[in-house]
Amino acid sequence: MDGLSVERIHVWRGERHLLRGVSFALAPGQLLQVSGPNGAGKSTLLRAVCGLTRPEQGEVRWGGTPIAAVRESFLAQLAYAAHEPALKGDLTALENLHFAVSLRRRADTAELGSCLERTGVGSCAELAARILSAGQRRRVALARVLALRAPLWVLDEPFANLDAAGAGMLSAILREHVEAGGAALVVAHHELAVGIATRRLELAP
Amino acid sequence: MTPGSAQGTGVGPARGDAAGSVPGVAESPAPGAGVGTFGAAALIMRRELRLSFRRPEHLVQPLVFFLIITTLFPLGLSLQLSQLRDMAPGVLWGAALLSSLLSLDALFKSDADDGTLEQLALSGQGLTVIVIAKTLAHWLVTGAALVLVSPLVATALDIPASAFALMMSSLALGTLTLSWLGSIGAALTVGLKRGNVLISLIVLPLAMPLLIFGASATERAISGTSAAGPLYLLTALCVLTTTLAPFAASAALKISLD
């Protein structure tokens, strides 16, 4: 099958059994919201989906094949934004984006600039990420997700630190991505007002 | 609104050729397209060097440490010049190893702390490439820099200029080997709060042969006898660590990322 499927994965963190047989499928053009109380394993689930954490049991599949077997092509189609913005404070916003994109393909500075414009931090392109506010850093991280042009987005609490306008911008970006045939896996605590059908996965504590 | 939104696609805002197709989603890059392994390694090295030069204090710290240790010894011991020359290789090498150990714990830790290591690991480039590029960049700003200032220190320790070439090449081999050993230690301790002490405990015992052979090579260079033996051994250690350490370090890094 197409897209991402997670089949009964179990993840332990030390003595804690964090994910107990979580399963879901995410096809192109779908948005899946993951929610649940703090400590329910939302971030762990996202890390497992990306292949950063190896589940003790179960399988994460991309296009029907375990991600470990198609690692390169899977990663080429994945944009992951962790809870922290993952920016180098001493590099400018644009340099951060340029580096992330260049590792995958030839980066076009004008395109990166317009990604920053799109997330509302175009004026911060030449500023060191260190001096940006938490909300601005989040926006730069979202610009990186845009710039990677990946069909699968895995976003860990992307609405954190964003103001109302930023939340609106992100909702619009998510809608465009999904309507264009992309898939998105998003951790969010509130009801997503994206304007498209959103499925929900509730993780129990 | 922003120029990007006028295009009406959140995926490839700047692209003018959006007609009909879905940019980005439809034509996602093929695996490994565009950037080869060497290109990626060069990119990572450039980023590391740029980061180092944005923080000159990190760049200067090991050098200053090196200079201070080596000048403290002669001052504190008030030796005769001939005695100083006898002690010089040991002092030089001990100081060089300690100062290049100083910054080793930040090799992967700074990236792990701000989350950029995860992004690197998900970039589709192998962890081994990342380890090699980061370690070489680290060596360039610490080990190679130490080698370059070593004649200054050597003059203060009364090492004759005729021994400089041998001393510098042995130091280059030794510090490079130490950087590789350090990359394993840094990868193993990346997830720990106070990995600094642990790195020293892991790396210093392994670095003892470097100290012994390095100091002996320098000593022979000073006395004018053949330094070929210790130099060959240093080279062998350097080749061994260069070929094996990246794999060990990337395996350790993989475990630490999990």
Structure confidence by residue, pLDDT tens digits, B203-255: 989 999 999 999 999 999 999 899 899 999 999 999 999 999 999 999 999 98
**Which residues 152-171 on chain A approach chain B with CB closer than 8 angstroms?**
none
How far is residue A205's CA from residue B17's CA, in Å, rounded to a whole number?
47
Burial of B195 (0-12, 13-18, 19+ CB in 10 A): buried
pLDDT of B25 strictly over 80: no
Whether B115 sits inside 8 A of A118 (CB atoms) is: no
pLDDT in tens, chain A (205 residues): 578 999 999 998 888 888 888 999 999 999 999 999 988 889 999 999 999 989 999 999 999 899 999 988 999 999 999 999 999 999 999 999 999 999 998 889 999 999 999 999 999 999 999 999 999 999 999 999 999 999 999 999 999 999 999 999 999 999 999 999 999 999 998 888 888 888 888 888 7
Three-state DSSP state, B21:
coil
What pTM did the predictor assign? 0.87
Cβ contacts of B118 within 8 Å, gap of 6 or more: A52, A80, A82, A86, B257
Work out the average pLDDT over B106-118: 91
| A2 interfaces chain B, CB cutoff of 8 Å | no
pLDDT band at B124 (very low <50, low <70, confident <90, very high): confident
Closest-CA residue of chain A to B25: A151
The chain-wide mean pLDDT, for chain B, equals: 84
Report ipTM (2 d.p.).
0.91
pLDDT at A142 (0 to 100): 95
How far is residue A36's CA from residue B234's CA, in Å, rounded to a whole number?
56
pLDDT of B136 strictly over 70: yes
Q: Which two tokens stand for residue B197?
A: 């002490």
pLDDT of B9 strictly over 90: no
| A28 interfaces chain B, CB cutoff of 8 Å | yes
pLDDT of B31 strictly over 50: no
pLDDT at B34 (0 to 100): 63
Whether A76 sits inside 8 A of B43 (CB atoms) is: no
Closest-CA residue of chain B to A89: B114
pLDDT at A128 (0 to 100): 94
> What's the distance, CA B105 to chain centroid?
10
Q: From residue B128, how far is each of A50, A63, A103, B142, B243 by CA, in Å?
A: 19, 27, 14, 21, 11
In this complex, which of A52, A78, A95 lies closest to B257 when CB atoms are compared? A52
In this complex, which of B11, B22, B124 lies closest to A76 when CB atoms are compared? B124
The bridge status of strand A183-187 relative to strand A152-156 is parallel
Closest-CA residue of chain A to B9: A176
pLDDT of B104 strictly over 80: yes
At residue A110, φ and ψ (nearest 5 deg) are -65, -40
CA nearest B139: which of B110, B181, B109?
Answer: B181
How far is residue A37's CA from residue A32's CA, in Å, rounded to a whole number?
17
| A100 interfaces chain B, CB cutoff of 8 Å | yes
Calculate the CA dihedral of residues A49, A50, A55, A58 and round it to 10 degrees.
40
> What's the distance, CA A96 to chain centroid?
17
How far is residue B89's CA from residue B153's CA, in Å, rounded to a whole number?
11
Give ∠ CA B107-B171-B219 in degrees, rounded to 5: 145
At residue A47, φ and ψ (nearest 5 deg) are -65, -35
Half-sphere exposure of A22 (CA within 13 A, CB side): 28
Whether A75 sits inside 8 A of B40 (CB atoms) is: no
Give ∠ CA B142-B167-B162 in degrees, rounded to 5: 135
Whether A87 sits inside 8 A of B116 (CB atoms) is: yes
pLDDT at B27 (0 to 100): 44
pLDDT band at B33 (very low <50, low <70, confident <90, very high): low
